Structure formats: C-alpha cells, structure tokens
Structure 1
Amino acid sequence: MRAAVFHLDSRKLALETVPDPTPEAGQVVIKVHRCGICGSDLHLAEGHSISFQDGAIPGHEVSGEVVAVGPGVTRVAIGDRVAVLPYLSCGTCLACRDGDPAGCRNARMFGSRSLGGGYAEYLLTNAIWCVKLPKSLSFEDGALVEPLAVSLRAARASGIKAGDKVLVMGAGAIGLAAAYWARKCGAGKVAISATSTRRENMARAMGADAFITPEEDRTLAEQADDALGGAADIVFECAGVPGSLDEAVSAVKRRGMAAAPGFCWTPDTFTPMRAMLKDVTIRFTNIYDTREFEIAVEALDNGHVEPRAMITNVVDLDATPEAFEELRGRNTQCKVMIRPW
C-alpha cells in the first residue's frame, strides 16, 4: 500500500510503498477514506518534547471502510463504514472492555511504536475501536468524530449545565469543538478567544456568541466578562500554550471550573495561589472513550452538523507531504483532510 512516511533526518513526509496490514484475532483492516491532519501531528514532526519515530506513518483522525477481519470479530463486518478510535490494544483487559483504549497497558496509538496511522491507504485496529457511521454521514463527518470526542470529554468532565457562561480559549479544532458542545449542552453564552480574527466566522458558525482578540491594556478576563455579561462559569483552555492556564484561572468565576484539554508541549509557569484564592477547580482531560465517539456520531446524525465548517481543504495522498509542509507555516486552513483513494 501507499503511505506518507515520516523521516527523522529531514523531519518531512515522503510517499512510499509499505506492506499491507494483516488482521489477527479481534482485529480489522480499515481502508482509509479520510484522515484529518491534527495540530499534534505538526508538533510531533517538529520534535519538541516528543517526536515521531523514524518511519512513522502519522494520522489519528480516521474514518473508513472495514475490508478485512480477523478471527472472532463480530462487532463489525466487511463493508461497514466506521469512525475509528486510533488504537491497537490487547482487546481483553478491563480498560478495553470498558471502551477506554488509553487505559490498556499494551495500547499503541496510530503513528507511534510502529503502528501505522491514517496517512495511508490501509491501517490496522481492533474491532472494538470501530464505531459505525449511519448512512446520513459522510467519511468527512467520520473523520471529524475524533477531534469532536476530545472536546466532548472535556465538556462532560466540566459539569457544564444549561445557562452557564462559557469562555473557550483557542480557535483551533479542539476549541471550536468545545464551543459546539457548550452550545449543545445549553450554555447561556459562549465566547471564544484567539490571537486573530481569521476564524471568527467559523467560531460563530460553531455556536460562539462573541469572539475575543487581544486588546491593548485589557486582560482576557476583562474582555470575557464584558462579552459574557459576567465572569465565566467554565473556561475551556484549548490553546495549549504557556501562560494559558493562568489566564483561564483569572477569567473563571470564584468556584468555577477550568477544563483543560489543551496540550501544552513545554513546561509552563503556573500560580497555584491564584487558583486557591478563587477556589477554582482545574480539570485536565485526555483522549476519549467509545461512548464519546458514539455521542459525537449521534449528534452529527441528528443534524447538528456545524462542525463541517471546520473542513477547509481535502487533499489526495500524493499531495499530503506538500500540504503538511504548508500547515507547518502560517496558513489560513483549519481542518485539512487526506483522501487516500
């Protein structure tokens, strides 16, 4: 099969021919129809605190078609259209049985530890990590499920309730998805903050009432207070840059919740006393479970398709190395998807 392979010496992708995957017991082979390029893929290619290994095939935002099954597979069948939790695991431990792939001690995520990801024509996973797509949804919808599930995990952990004032820090895919879920959970007002206005229209399409960019001599907390009509009940820190957690604590109300799905790749200075004095709860979240994938699929199937606004480009596998390099610089894209076939 063909795949876009990462090379450590150049820190770039190259299109190559690699062996086709073969399923063992409980495993399936997926023909990849769409794979989103995630910001974490770009960070891993840069080699910050962690890096792709030489020869890695990235890609964890995957949808496709089941084309081969191993012994004992009953959850899915050949021909099923699926969104895929990006793991290969033991399939039998308590975490696997509970739908929690990251909790399996033997789990490997797509693109790591020699497990190929979605920048390829095919990939290998467990049948238990496949969530069927209804006929109403496209493969592009299916590839949005993974980033939607990341933010859904944060929304569920935050305890958000109807009428809450919500600030989302960061207008990347995770921040936009957080605004989407806040609106679906009945938030009274939702504001998104970002460093520029380039995704303002997209943010409003996803459910934001207000869009905040930096103003001289005004703090984010002051701007958010004006936009929301009071301090935020919940702040979703989705920017993942040094200083963001302190800003989230400053912007949230006393005894509020700062939920942090943002992925900060470098050490960050944080002022615990500020959080203590405000009696703030800080809740970090990571990944998702099969139920969160299912909820995301159900939301899209029910017609809540606002996340489609995030898709700004679809490229063929041949064009993936070039598209990936473009995303590593300043660009106007949000969610770029790969179409291997």
Structure 2
Amino acid sequence: MRAVLFREVGQPLAVDEVADPAPAANQVLVKVARCGICGSDLHMAEGHGYVPPPGTIFGHEISGEVVEVGRSVEGVAAGDKIAVMPIFGCGHCTACSQGMPARCASMQFTSGGYAEYVAVDPTSAIRLPSTVSLDDAALAEPLAVALHGIVAARIMPGDVVTIVGAGPIGLAALFWARHFGAARTYVIEKVPERRAIAERMGATGVFLPQPPSGGDGFARHYGELPMGEAADVVVECVGRPGLLMASAAYARHGGRLVSLGYCFGDDPIVPAGLGMRELQLHFPQLYTRSEFEMSVNVLDAGAVEPRHMVTDTVGLDAVPEMFEALRTSPRQCKVLITPFP
C-alpha cells in the first residue's frame, strides 16, 4: 500500500510503498477514508516530546471502513463505517471498565492513518450512525479532546468563556462552550483566516492578542480587557511557553483556567499571580470513551459548525508539502487526508 512516512527530525515526510498491514487475531483492518493532520504530529516531526523511529506512519484522527476482522474479534464486522478512537487499554482494569483507557497503565496509542489501510484494536472502532459522513467522522477525535477540557472546566449556562487560539482544538472548544450554554464566547487569535472561522462558528467576539497594561500581566480593571469583561472560564489552546500565564489575565477572580494547548516545553507560571485571583488550573489529557462517542453523536444530531474547521482535503502525494506548510504557517486550520481521492 501507499503511505506517508516520517524519516527524521527536520526532514520532510516521504510517500512510499510499504507492506499491507495484516490484522492480528485481535485486530480489525480499516480502509482509511479520511485522516486529520494533528498538531501533535507536527510537534513529533520537529523533535518535541516523543520522537518516533524512522518509518513511522503518523495519523490518529481516522475514519474509514472495516474491510477485515481478526478471527477472535466480536462485535465488529467487515463493512462497518467507523471513527477510530486511537487509544485503548488492557480492557480489564478499573479504568478500562469505566471507559477511561487513557488512565490504563497499559494504554496504547493507535497511529498509521497517513496510509491506505491501518490495523486497529476493535475497541477503537466506534461504529458510525448512517447519518454521519466519513468526512465529519474524522473530526470526532479533536472534538473529543476539546470536550474533555470543557467538561473539566465545568461550563454552566450563562458562563463567559474566553478561548486563546483558534486552531482546531480552540475552535472545537468554542463549539462545545456554545453547546453547553455559554452566554458569551470570546476568541483571541492573530491569524486572519482562523479569526474568520471563529466568527463563522459563532464566537461573540474575536480579538487580537493584547497584553493588559498592568505590570504583572494582569489588567487593573476588567474593562481594560479587549472584550470588556473577564471570563468565568479561560481555555488556552496554543501550547507555547508563556501563554498559559498570559491567558490567566482574561479570567475573573475565582475563575477556571484550562490548559488544552499541551505545551511540550518548560512553561513558567507565577503561583502567586494565579493565587491572588484564586484561579483553578486544569490539565486535561485525551478523553473518555463516552466523550468520544458524544463527539460522534453530536455530529449525528446535525451539528455542522465543526466542518468550518476543515480548510483543505489532500491526497497522499500532497501530504509532505502540506505538512511542511502547516509547520511554518498557521493559515490553514484542519487539513484532512484522503488516501483514495
């Protein structure tokens, strides 16, 4: 089959022929319909956090069709249209029994979506309702990441929410904040193309980053903030050093600050600065099975706003060039790969 391979840090990805994956007895083989390019793939290719071995096939935001099942697999059949939940555990521990494989001591992560076929654990195969397209289903994974963060933030109807960064996770957080009844949603973003997407997805206001005038990084009065009011919940969705502390400036006294940017580097914070506002700080990771299924179900219910995140769909041959463009320019948002144009 054809696939896009990681070679080494700093080098472009390469399209090549590799052996077709053969599903083990406890796996299913999926014909990939769509796979999203995730920011974590970009981070790994740059040597941040985990550095994969040469020949690794990236891609975990996968939708497709089951074409073969291993002999010991039950509950999944050839022909099933699925979204792949790319985390799975031992299946027997307390965390797994509660639908939280991300907390399993044996948790594993599925990759390989930048290819024509991928073998996955059957527990990762989330069957799609007939009304959910394979295009939309590839958005279930980033939607689930953002949902887990929004659940941690305990957004209530009437809350004011400020989201820092309008990449795919920030836009997904905007979607869920509005879904759970936020009264006003503000987005901080400097890239014009992404600002426009946030507006199309219903943000109350979209603003350029603007540091408060206070010498300690906090506004002396909430009215100094660009949106004119402080937020009950601030969600940082960029992941660059310094932005978590900067994002705290948008929160009200006693507010909640959620780190969804997943910064891989040292990110200094000033505990006293956060403490003077009694901020609650949350570091969510991944999602539960029920949150992934909820992300599929909200698409089944007719939500169309997440589609605005998709700015391009490309075949395998175009992936190396697109991947490099995403590494150097944020003008695109969510790019989907279609191995079979």
TM-score by length of 1: 0.92
2:324 counterpart residue number = 325
**Cα 1:216/1:235, change in 2 over 3 Å:** closer
Select the residue among 181, 184, 188 that pairs with 2:183.
188
Alignment of 1:98 with 2:98, yes or no, is yes
Q: Which amino acid aligns with 1:317?
A: L
* RMSD of equivalent CA atoms: 2.1
Distance between the aligned counterparts of 1:106 and 1:19, measured in 2?
27
Tell me what 2:244 maps to: 245
* Further displaced range: 156-165 or 260-269: 260-269
Paired residue type of 1:59: G
1:87/1:20 Cα in 2 relative to 1: closer, same or farther (>3 Å)?
farther
Indicate yes or no: 2:151 matched with 1:152: no
C-alpha separation in 2, matches of 1:164 and 1:295: 22
Identity of aligned residues (%): 44
- Report the equivalent of 1:35: 35
Which string of whole-angstrom CA distances, capped at 9 and with x for unpartnered residues, describes residues 7-55 of structure 1? 0166321112222222234321111110000111111101124322211
1:209-264 deviations in whole A, cap 9, x for unaligned?
10010347757965985565521000011111111221232221111111111111
- The match for 2:136 among 141, 157, 171 is 141
CA distance in 2, matches of 1:21, 1:95: 29
Deviates more, 1:156-165 or 1:98-107: 98-107
CA contact (8 A) 2:84 2:126 kept: yes
Q: Quick check: 2:212–2:218 contact (8 Å CA) kept in 1?
A: no
Is residue 115–residue 339 contact of structure 2 (8 Å, CA) maintained in 1? yes
Question: Residues 307, 2 of structure 1: CA spacing in aligned structure 2 closer, same or farther, 3 A cutoff?
Answer: same
Q: Cα distance 1:216–1:83, how it changes in 2: closer, same or farther (>3 A)? A: closer
Give the letter aligned to residue 32 of structure 2.
Answer: V
Aligned match of 1:278: 277
What is the aligned partner in structure 2 of residue 164 from structure 1?
Answer: 159
Instruction: Name the stretch that deviates more: 320-329 or 165-174.
Output: 320-329
**1:197 and 2:192 aligned:** yes
Distance between the aligned counterparts of 1:297 and 1:224, measured in 2? 38
1:174, CA displacement in angstroms?
0.4
How many residues align structurally? 336
Please tell me the residue identity of whatever aligns with 1:55: G
Partner of 1:73: 73
Q: Distance in 1 between matches of 2:91 and 2:20?
A: 21
| Residue of structure 1 equivalent to 2:14 | 14
**How far, CA to CA, are the matches of 1:25 and 1:96 in structure 2?**
21
Mapped contact 2:21–2:118 kept (Cα < 8 A): yes
Give the match for residue 261 of structure 1. Answer: 260
Q: Please state how far the C-alpha of 1:99 moved relative to its aligned partner.
A: 2.6
Q: Is the 8 A contact 1:170 1:193 kept in 2?
A: yes
1:127 aligns with 2:122: yes
Contact 1:89 1:126 in 2 (8 A): no
8 Å contact 1:179–1:208 — kept in the other structure? yes
The unaligned stretches of length 5 or more in structure 2 are none
Higher mean C-alpha displacement, 161-170 vs 23-32: 23-32
CA shift at 1:331, angstroms? 4.8
Query: Taking structure 1 as reference, are residues 216 and 163 closer, same or farther at Cα in structure 2, changes over 3 Å only?
Result: closer
- Map 1:286-301 to 2 at 5 A: 286-301=285-300
- TM-superposed CA distance for 1:189, in Å, is 0.2
Which residue pairs with 1:5 in the alignment? Answer: 5
